Amino acid sequence: MTSQPAAALRTRLVDQAASDLKENRRRQQELAEKLRMLKQEEALLVDILKLAERYESLAESSSPREQDQEDPAPPGPASRRASASPSTGTPAQRAARTGKSARAAAKGKSRRPLLGDLLLSLLADGDEPRLAKELRDELLEKHPDLDPTPQVVRNTLESLVSKGHVRRHKQQRSVKYTLEESGRHAFAAQ
């Protein structure tokens, strides 16, 4: 009689061990997948941090005074032609075309004008308040290499309003923008 209960006990222990082993392997796979995902997330965050540091150093190294010295002329007909040259695009895009590293391209002297500067230039060309859509359409016409979304244009205009460069005019449900008088004098002086 002792051999039957011992055999039953052995069978139960073997079954339990097999079940525990199977559960252990399932959890190992689950944890391995989580570890893989965490490593991908870490790599992504490291890339984001590197990009943020690169752009922060770019912003610190190119103060507005340095930009004015490098490109003293406002975006006019001559500089508009230059902006359509192959030197346009993000530093990474320029690097991809020329084979240079993104860092080397970012340190290059040829910078294309900022969206805010281009919008200020467009506003300086006219005296009438203008809709963000009109400004975006003219920007796309004059700078086909750019394609900011309507929201980006509005956000940039609102940023210029908050800095005191542009004035906002609300007319019923429309919002129009003009260059502040102080900004107009600054453009006239350039």
Output the CA–CA distances (angstroms, integers) from residue 63 to 57, 92, 123, 129, 153, in the order listed.
Answer: 11, 21, 23, 30, 22
- Measured CA to CA, the distance from residue 177 to residue 138 in angstroms comes to 14
Residue-by-residue pLDDT tens, the chain, 190 positions: 567 888 899 999 999 999 999 999 999 999 999 999 999 988 888 888 888 888 777 777 665 554 445 555 445 444 444 444 444 555 555 545 554 444 554 555 557 788 999 999 888 988 889 999 999 999 999 988 888 999 999 999 999 999 999 999 898 889 999 998 765 555 555 5
Question: pTM for the whole thing?
Answer: 0.42
Determine the pLDDT at residue 136: 93
